[in-house]
Structure 1
Amino acid sequence: MLQNLHVKNLALIDEADVEFGEGLNILSGETGAGKSIIIGSINIALGEKAPKDILRKNAEFALIELTFEVKNPNTVKRLKSLGVEISEDNIVVISKKIKPNRTIGRVNGETVSTSKIQEISSILIDIHGQHEHQSLLNRKKHLLILDEFAKKNICDIKEKISEAFSNYRKLINERENANMNVEERNRELSFLEFEINEIESADLKENEDEELEEKFRFFSNGKKILEKLNSVREITNGELGGVAELLDKAMYDVQFVVNYDDKIQNLSNELSEIESLVNDFNYELSNYISELDFDEAQFYEIDSRLNLINSLKAKYGRTINDILESYEEKTERIQVLQEYDEYIKNLDENIKKERDNLETLCNELSSIRKKASVKLVEKIKSALLDLNFLDVKFEMSFNRTKDYTNEGFDDIEFLISTNPGEPVRPLQDVASGGELSRIMLAIKAIMAEDDEIETLIFDEIDTGISGRTAQMVSEKMDLLSQSHQIICITHLPQIAAMANQHFLIEKSIEKDSKKNEMTVSRIHSLDYDQSVNELARMIGGVEITEKVIDSAREMKSLAKSKKIGL
Structure 2
Amino acid sequence: MLINLHVKNLALIEETEVDFTDHLNILTGETGAGKSILIGSIQSALGAKIPKDMIRNGCDSALIELIFHTKSEAVRKKMEEFEIPFEDGEIIISRRITNHRVINKVNDISVTIGRLKELSPLLLDLSGQHENQLLLKPQNHLKIIDSYHRNLITPIKEKTASLYHEYQELRQTLSEQNMGEEQRIREMEFLKYEIQEIEEANLQSGEDETLEAQYQKVSHAREILSDCSAVHEMTAGQSGCAGDLIGSAVQKLYTVESMDAGAKGLTEQLQTIDSLLNDFNRELSGYIDSMEFDGEQFAELEDRLNLINHLKAKYGDSIEKIQKYHDDSVEKYEKLSNYEEYISKIKRELSKVREKLDIQCDKLTSLRKDAAIPLTQLIKEALRDLNFLDVEFEIVFEQSAQYSPHGRDTVCFMISTNPGQAVRPLHEIASGGELSRIMLAIKSILADEEGIETLIFDEIDTGISGRTAQKVSERLACIAKKRQVIAITHLPQIAAMADAHYLIEKTSDSNSTISNIYLLTEEESIKELARMLGGVRITDAVLQNAREMRTLAKQ
CA distance in 2, matches of 1:497, 1:264: 102
* Structure 2 residue aligned with 1:440: 439
Is 1:551 aligned to residue 550 of structure 2?
A: no
* Structure 1 residue aligned with 2:521: 527
CA distance in 2, matches of 1:266, 1:110: 59
Which segment is superposed worse, 96-105 or 290-299?
Answer: 290-299
Q: Which amino acid aligns with 2:519?
A: S
Q: Select which of 532, 539, 560 maps to 2:533.
A: 539
Deviation of 1:232 after TM superposition, in Å, equals 1.1
Q: Which amino acid aligns with 1:330?
A: S
Q: 1:255 to 1:465 in 2, by over 3 A?
A: closer
CA distance in 2, matches of 1:261, 1:365: 102
SS at match of 1:422: coil
* Structure 1 residue aligned with 2:67: 67
Q: Which amino acid aligns with 2:113?
A: T
Deviation of 1:250 after TM superposition, in Å, equals 4.9
SS at match of 2:410: strand
Is 1:102 aligned to residue 101 of structure 2?
A: yes
TM-score using structure 1 length = 0.94
CA distance in 2, matches of 1:107, 1:530: 36
Which segment is superposed worse, 361-370 or 279-288?
Answer: 279-288
1:45-444 paired onto structure 2 within 5 Å: 45-73=45-73, 75-87=75-87, 89-250=88-249, 273-444=272-443
Q: Which amino acid aligns with 1:539?
A: L
Q: Which amino acid aligns with 1:534?
A: E
Q: 1:175 to 1:277 in 2, by over 3 A?
A: closer
Q: Which amino acid aligns with 2:326?
A: Y
| Alpha-carbon contact 2:386-2:437 (below 8 Å) kept | yes
CA distance in 2, matches of 1:287, 1:483: 89
How many residue pairs end up in the alignment? 555
Deviation of 1:252 after TM superposition, in Å, equals 6.2
SS at match of 1:503: strand
Give CA deviations for 1:429-450 in whole Å, capped at 9, x if unaligned: 1100110111110001111112
* Structure 2 residue aligned with 1:31: 31
CA distance in 2, matches of 1:357, 1:123: 32
1:490-505 paired onto structure 2 within 5 Å: 490-505=489-504
| Alpha-carbon contact 1:82-1:120 (below 8 Å) kept | no
CA distance in 2, matches of 1:465, 1:529: 27
Give CA deviations for 1:52-84 in whole Å, capped at 9, x if unaligned: 310111011101110111234554344333323
Q: 1:413 to 1:271 in 2, by over 3 A?
A: closer
Q: Which amino acid aligns with 1:63?
A: L
CA distance in 1, matches of 2:305, 2:100: 46
SS at match of 1:343: helix
Deviation of 1:351 after TM superposition, in Å, equals 1.0
SS at match of 1:517: coil
CA distance in 2, matches of 1:363, 1:72: 32
SS at match of 2:53: coil
Deviation of 1:277 after TM superposition, in Å, equals 3.5
Q: 1:106 to 1:277 in 2, by over 3 A?
A: closer
Give CA deviations for 1:149-203 in whole Å, capped at 9, x if unaligned: 0112112211211111111111000011111011211221121111111111111
Q: 1:503 to 1:291 in 2, by over 3 A?
A: same
* Structure 2 residue aligned with 1:513: none
CA distance in 2, matches of 1:552, 1:291: 105
Deviation of 1:470 after TM superposition, in Å, equals 0.5
SS at match of 1:3: strand
CA distance in 2, matches of 1:468, 1:304: 92
Give CA deviations for 1:417-473 in whole Å, capped at 9, x if unaligned: 111111111111110011011111000111111222211100011111111010000
Q: 1:16 to 1:297 in 2, by over 3 A?
A: same
Q: 1:269 to 1:16 in 2, by over 3 A?
A: closer
Deviation of 1:91 after TM superposition, in Å, equals 1.5
CA distance in 2, matches of 1:423, 1:504: 44
Give CA deviations for 1:103-126 in whole Å, capped at 9, x if unaligned: 111111111111111111211111
Task: Give the unaligned 5+ runs of structure 1.
Answer: 511-515, 562-566
CA distance in 1, matches of 2:48, 2:102: 11
Q: 1:283 to 1:527 in 2, by over 3 A?
A: same
Report the identity percentage.
48
Q: Which amino acid aligns with 2:343?
A: I
* Structure 1 residue aligned with 2:512: 518
| Alpha-carbon contact 2:413-2:426 (below 8 Å) kept | yes
Give CA deviations for 1:5-39 in whole Å, capped at 9, x if unaligned: 00000000101011100000000011111000000
Q: 1:553 to 1:214 in 2, by over 3 A?
A: same
Q: Which amino acid aligns with 2:429?
A: V
TM-score using structure 2 length = 0.96
Task: Give the unaligned 5+ runs of structure 2.
Answer: none
SS at match of 1:27: strand
| Alpha-carbon contact 2:74-2:122 (below 8 Å) kept | no
* Structure 2 residue aligned with 1:19: 19
CA distance in 1, matches of 2:150, 2:260: 102
CA distance in 2, matches of 1:504, 1:551: 19
| Alpha-carbon contact 1:244-1:275 (below 8 Å) kept | yes
Give CA deviations for 1:349-373 in whole Å, capped at 9, x if unaligned: 1111111111111111101111111
CA distance in 2, matches of 1:260, 1:25: 100
Deviation of 1:246 after TM superposition, in Å, equals 3.3
Deviation of 1:527 after TM superposition, in Å, equals 0.7
Q: Which amino acid aligns with 2:44?
A: I
Q: Which amino acid aligns with 1:38?
A: L
SS at match of 1:53: helix
CA distance in 2, matches of 1:251, 1:390: 115
| Alpha-carbon contact 1:470-1:492 (below 8 Å) kept | yes
